[in-house]
Amino acid sequence: MGILFEIKYKIHDSKREEYLDLVKKLRAFYLNNGIKDYKLYEDERGQNEFTEVFLFADAESFEKFEDDTNEDVNNLLSILVSELVVDKKVKYKTKKEVQI
């Protein structure tokens, strides 16, 4: 059963280019480490409000992803939250695929 993992946040207007460069680096790591698909979306009505969407083939892949970050990725994620995200507010959602 697939897993969808979603992260939402708003970044500082002045940090947009830095943010996009950082996300490119994270995306490269993600797609080489068990993630079936990764997409980045920006809210049409709220500039610099982003949603990262991760698709995992199954719960095991999702758990492995949570456990397999390295120091470089942790540093990038730390910069993202501490320097780029407005008020350090990040919302997470995990959803399970429904078999129909």
Query: The pTM is what?
Result: 0.89
> Would you say residue 72 has pLDDT above 90?
no
> What's the pLDDT score for residue 29?
87
Q: What are the φ/ψ torsions at residue 44 (nearest 5 degrees)?
A: -65, -30
The architecture (CATH level 2) of 3-96 comes to 2-Layer Sandwich (3.30)
CA distance 35 to 85: 23
Measured between alpha carbons, how far is residue 56 from residues 18, 23, 52 in Å?
27, 18, 13
Lowest mean pLDDT among 4-8, 29-33, 86-90: 29-33
Residue 75 CB neighbours (<10 A): 10
pLDDT attached to residue 66: 77
